[in-house]
Structure 1
Amino acid sequence: MNTKIILIVDDEETTRQGLKKTLEGWSAGRFEILSAADGHEALELFKRTRVNLLITDICMPEMTGLALLKNIRNQGYKPAVMIVSGYPDFEYAQEAIRLGVLNYLVKPLRKESLIKAIEEALDTEEHMIRADYLEKVADQGLLELEAKKEYVNSSVKQAIAYVNKNIPEQISLKEVADAVHLNASYFSAMFKERTSITFSEYLTRKRLQLAKKLLITTDLPIDEVARQAGYQTAKYFIKLFKDSEGVTPSKYRKLTELDETPI
Structure 2
Amino acid sequence: MPVKNYLHKIDLTQPKQLQTLVENRRVFNLQNCELNVFESYQEAYRVPLTFHDLVITSMVRGKKVMHLFDKPSFDYLPGETVIVPADETMVIDFPEAEADKPTQCIALAVDARYVNNTIQYLDNYYNSDPDTEHNWKLQFNQYHFANENEVTDLINKLIRVCSGGDKAKNIYADLNLKELLIRLMQSQHLLQVSSESGEWNNHSRLHHILHYINDNLTEKIAVDTLSRKAYMSRNDFFRWFKEQFGITPLEYINRERIKLAKQLLIDPKNTVTSVAMQCGFTDVNYFVRLFRKAEGITPGAYQSCSLQHNLSA
TM-score of the aligned structures, taking structure 1 as reference length = 0.42
TM-score of the aligned structures, taking structure 2 as reference length = 0.36
Higher relative contact order (Cα pairs below 8 Å, separated by 6+ residues)? 2
Q: Which has the larger radius of gyration?
A: 1
More helix by share: 1
